[in-house]
Amino acid sequence: MYDNLVDPREPLEVQFERLRAISAVLMRRVESHADRDGAAYAQFERAVVLEDQVRSRTQELERALDLLNESNERLSAANNEVEAARRDLSDAIEAVQEGFALFNEEDVLLLFNRRFCWQMPDVRARLKPGLRFDEYVEIVSQSRALHLPPDTDSGDWANGRLDRHRQDHMIFNLGLKDDRWLQISEHRTANSGTAIVQTDVTDLMRTEREQRERLLDSQSRMIRATLDHLDQGVAIFDAKAQLAGWNSRLKTLTALSPHAFVLGMPFAHMAEHLSQNFHMANREEERRLALWVRGSTPRSPISFELTQTATGRILDTFSQRLPDDGFIVSFTDVTAERRNARDLARVNEELEARVAARTEELQAALLQAERSNAAKSRFVAAASHDLLQPLSASKLYLSAAEDGTHPESIRKAAEALTSVEAIIEALLDISRLDTEEVRFTPVEVALDEILTPLSHAFAPVAAAKGLDLRIRPSRLRVMSDPSYLHRILQNLISNAIRYTTEGGVLVGARRRGDSVRIDIWDTGIGIREEDRGVIFEEFRRLNRRASAAEGMGLGLAIVERACARLGHRISLRSQPDRGSGFIVTLRGAAQQTQAHAAAQGLPELPVASLPPSLLVLIVDDDDGIRNALVALLERWGVSALDAANLAQASALLDEVDIIPDAIIMDYQLGNMENGLDTARALHARYGPCPTCVISANRAPWLRSECATEGWTFIPKPVPARELLGFLAVTGNRSD
């Protein structure tokens, strides 16, 4: 009920005064109407309660009034800060040297400074906050100060300006009357508003134009000097096909009157002047040039020839389009070139006739030579066959008489007959290889069946000369003729021993993809560069002092002919005074790797990832392990060199003069030698290469040493797949 005594909408001060007045009235009534039955006391109690309530309400009103005052103070401070910030912002944008305007996210103008649109007074007068951006663009497009580009009206300009406004960041130059320029820079703000900065760049634009004009003048003078120093005549026409420039050489070449060289003269008039002294090859050329000049056809470069009627001078003319849609025409005097070309064509015809006649003579001589060669081959074959019979009989008689009275003479006669027999057999081989009737049918041949007999045959010969002959066994199989492959290798090994006085001879085979390569290396006298082209000719020997008993120089001729007929490739590597190497490359037998693996009872492994030319050096003092590794690598098609220690490995690499692609090194090599030091020594001498250390010692320090050197460690017994993985990674690096 007390809430009805005051109006809550009245100010707190008014409510407080009203309640205090009510309290005073009630107190007076209580004091003046006290009665006997205690009603006055009851009224007094009510007055006390009412006073407490009034006091409580008064305190609440006072607290609310304090809060209101505090809020008013904060609001006043905030308003002061906002007003100060507004003044600071206004001062800041007024302080900048450029015009500035800010539109909100709804494209409504919020504020601008005095320099904004200062150069366009009619626009400046209509600017006010609340102006929409499209209205601002419309005002600018109608400004008397705006200089519109050619072929552009105010509507087109306004549409283009609104299109640019859709970009987040944009800068362009605005042209004004009286050659004044504004650079407009427009950027989108963080709250999607738009800030526009206008910079007066009039002085900069004028300076750049002056510099550009000076540069063009300088370039024009340079071009003029260049044109006048050209040996060609040059004429320049503008986009309207009117003469815009020429050089002095043009006047000399065309011999036209001065009236033909007038700035602005149409191309048709100059063409008419030229037609009085020059003519083209045909009317079609004239029509094509006219269409090109008018632009009726694409302006790709065009060329034609003009011939001077009186003197026969020929001008090669070339026309090309310029960037401004004009074109340039150059005239080159090619009279001497055309005359020389005609003379050359005449000489060429004469030479062709002489070559044809000479060819006929050579064909006739070749036919005669072929007939003579065939007759020679038949004679040699017949003579060799007939001579071998009595020679064989003579050898038998000499053998029977070896215990006679002249054993030394008989021995020398036997040797001479043996040499004669070898020469005749060589002649017989040459004859057979030169005879086309002899057909060779390659069959599958096991190399061991060829190399092992040769090793047994030449071992005593090499030992007699103090040479180290090493013919490595091989399980590879090839496609060849067995007898001629035996003869090829026999001649190469024989030559290697013959021309080696110290050191040794090394023979080995390795796979190269689908092919097999057989190497014969020696440490002999070597072959000079100038001799390499003739060593395969008949009766050629590098050692001219050699006796007939040492051969007549037919061995390499037989090798070369046999390889050619069998489809084998032979190559030579040599260094004088260090030795030579002959390499015979022939086709491997199909599926030989799988067949050998099955024959050995070994499981097949995926070796497709191994390159065919991989060469690995194996160093292990255990012959059994070393031979097993060699057999495994050869089964995978990998060539292997093996040695028991550092000395043997170094000697072997020096002998073959080949750096291996990888090294497989045992750690414990005996005689206080370990694989780590051996590998480091080989790397220091021959260069670094991928290395795999194998050992039964599984100590962590050994693995750590290998990891530090960047080598692979595989514990014994060696898993074949881990070894294959090492070789596959090595092969990828070498590729």
Do 568 and 697 belong to one domain? no
Do 563 and 613 belong to one domain? no
Do 466 and 517 belong to one domain? yes
Rounded to an integer, what distance in angstroms lies between the CA atom of residue 661 and that of residue 541?
36
- Position 604, amino acid: E
What pLDDT is stored for residue 135 in this prediction? 92
Tokens of 657: 């003069």
Mean pLDDT by 10 residues, the chain (735 residues): 63 75 72 56 71 79 79 77 68 76 91 87 90 92 89 89 89 88 90 90 83 70 71 86 84 77 84 83 81 75 84 87 86 87 86 86 78 56 49 46 54 55 58 61 88 88 91 91 86 89 92 90 85 64 45 67 87 87 89 42 50 84 81 83 90 86 90 90 92 83 90 84 86 62
Preceding amide of 611 cis, omega within 30: no
Residue 484 contacts residue 440 (beta carbons within 8 Å): yes
Task: Say how far residue 11 (Cα) sits from the centre of its chain.
Answer: 88
Do 240 and 191 belong to one domain? no
- Of the candidates 52, 422, 100, the residue with the CA atom closest to the CA atom of residue 414: 422
Stretch (H or E) spanning 194? strand 194-200
**pTM exceeds 0.75:** no
- Let me know if residue 401 belongs to a domain: no
Residue 520 contacts residue 500 (beta carbons within 8 Å): no
Q: What CATH number is attached to the domain comprising 490?
A: 3.30.565.10
- Of the candidates 370, 363, 364, 362, the residue with the CA atom closest to the CA atom of residue 434: 370
Q: What CATH number is attached to the domain comprising 137?
A: 3.30.450.20
- Position 595, amino acid: A
Tokens of 535: 């060593």
Do 579 and 445 belong to one domain? yes
- Let me know if residue 703 belongs to a domain: yes
Q: Is 324 helix (H, G, I), strand (E, B) or coil?
A: coil
What is the phi/psi pair of residue 512, to 5°?
A: -140, 80
* C-beta neighbour count of 573 within 10 angstroms: 15
Residue 421 contacts residue 388 (beta carbons within 8 Å): yes
Q: Is 509 helix (H, G, I), strand (E, B) or coil?
A: strand
Residue 267 contacts residue 241 (beta carbons within 8 Å): yes
* C-beta neighbour count of 267 within 10 angstroms: 21
Residue 486 contacts residue 445 (beta carbons within 8 Å): no
Q: Supply the range of the domain harboring residue 324.
A: 230-333
- Let me know if residue 190 belongs to a domain: yes
- Let me know if residue 50 belongs to a domain: yes
List the alpha helices (DSSP H) in 401-543: 407-434, 447-464, 482-498
Rounded to an integer, what distance in angstroms lies between the CA atom of residue 433 and that of residue 407?
39
Do 546 and 580 belong to one domain? yes
Rg, Å, the chain Cα set: 56
What pLDDT is stored for residue 274 in this prediction? 83
Q: Is 302 helix (H, G, I), strand (E, B) or coil?
A: strand
- Let me know if residue 344 belongs to a domain: no
Q: Among 558, 587, 616, which residue terminates a domain?
A: 587
Do 530 and 573 belong to one domain? yes
- Of the candidates 605, 237, 650, 596, the residue with the CA atom closest to the CA atom of residue 446: 596
Rounded to an integer, what distance in angstroms lies between the CA atom of residue 488 and that of residue 584?
9
Q: What is the DSSP letter of 576?
A: T
- Let me know if residue 158 belongs to a domain: yes
Do 236 and 273 belong to one domain? yes
What pLDDT is stored for residue 609 in this prediction? 60
- Of the candidates 371, 478, 394, 383, the residue with the CA atom closest to the CA atom of residue 431: 383
Residue 607 contacts residue 724 (beta carbons within 8 Å): yes
Tokens of 24: 């005073």
Do 183 and 242 belong to one domain? no
Q: Among 316, 333, 350, which residue terminates a domain?
A: 333
Cα–Cα distances (Å) from 507 to 206, 332, 447, 535, in that order, read 87, 69, 12, 20
Do 445 and 540 belong to one domain? yes
Please enumerate, as own/partner, the contacts of 131-135 that have beta carbons within 8 Å and a separation of 24 or more.
132/107, 132/108, 133/103, 133/107, 133/108, 133/109, 133/165, 133/194, 134/107, 134/162
Residue 446 contacts residue 474 (beta carbons within 8 Å): no
Number of folded domains in the chain? 5
Do 554 and 622 belong to one domain? no
Within 8 A by CB and 6+ apart from 107, the residues are 132, 133, 134, 194
Q: What CATH number is attached to the domain comprising 630?
A: 3.40.50.2300
Exposure letters 221-255 (e unless 16+ CB within 10 A, then b): eeeeeebeeeebbbbbbbeebbbbbbbebbeebbe
Residue 241 contacts residue 271 (beta carbons within 8 Å): no
- Let me know if residue 81 belongs to a domain: no
Q: What is the DSSP letter of 578?
A: T
- Let me know if residue 436 belongs to a domain: no
Enumerate helices (H) and strands (E) in the chain, giving the number of each. 20, 25
What pLDDT is stored for residue 416 in this prediction? 53
Strand partners, 327: 237, 321
Do 45 and 112 belong to one domain? no
Q: Among 315, 333, 351, which residue terminates a domain?
A: 333
Exposed/middle/buried for 605, CB within 10 Å: 0-12, 13-18, 19+? middle
Task: Say how far residue 583 (Cα) sits from the centre of its chain.
Answer: 35
Stretch (H or E) spanning 109? strand 109-112
Q: What is the DSSP letter of 589?
A: P
Cα–Cα distances (Å) from 544 to 296, 497, 541, 553, in that order, read 81, 17, 6, 10
